[in-house]
Chain A
């Protein structure tokens, strides 16, 4: 069965430090991959998406992600974290014509001053 794994439940980084959030997927065919961010009490906002082509994708708010088929990974990165980046981050994989998404369990990011 298709699954998405986010190994890190909680991560704390200092403001200005670099960030990498891990995501691993299992899917036989070419995956469609997404990163969403959720601020407290809010809905989910799309950061970036990968369908095909260039394996390094740029998103909003200075985020990027790299698709690595050999590692079944789609890790999210940001070179310098801002306090406003504190939120929960979800990786998701899409499948089929119905666009159904499978979500990881999320990574909660805390930013220290």
Chain B
């Protein structure tokens, strides 16, 4: 299994509070991603990173920010949590394309976030 950990694994917070989720990898992969999973929507990309300090938005980025100061860590921050951000959050990593191949993403175990 790819070396990906997420912390915390579960969190309950109140509306309006800031929340930071952490993704840590030991694979030295270039790309890191944050997804949210909601019933009926599958997984949707929030933000991704293609290198240290290099990040970009995904399809559902409103209300979220990210940072990547080291190759191994990718942080997702909810500046002011809302109930609509109650979800399961998954981090993924990928080495990117190499030798003409399109490398798959490897997923972490997920963080279940509840915003009351």
The size bracket of the interface on A is 20 to 34
Number of A-B residue pairs with CB-CB distance less than 8 Å in the complex they form: 56
Interface residue ranges of B1-60 to A (CB < 8 Å): 31, 33, 35, 40-45, 48, 50, 56, 58
In the assembly, what is the distance between CA of A51 and CA of B42, in Å? 22
With A32-B102, A98-B31: A90-B109 Cβ-Cβ less than 8 Å: no
Binds B, one of A13-21, A69-77, A79-87, A103-111: A103-111
| Complex partner residue of B44 from A32, A36, A51, A103, CB under 8 angstroms | A103
Q: Is the interface of A mostly helix, strand, loop or mixed?
A: strand
The size bracket of the interface on B is 20 to 34
- Does A43 contact B48, Cβ atoms closer than 8 Å? no
With A98-B31, A99-B97, A100-B58: A43-B108 Cβ-Cβ less than 8 Å: yes
Write the residues of chain A forming the contact surface with B, with a CB cutoff of 8 angstroms: 32, 34, 36, 42-46, 49, 51, 90, 92, 94, 97-101, 103-106
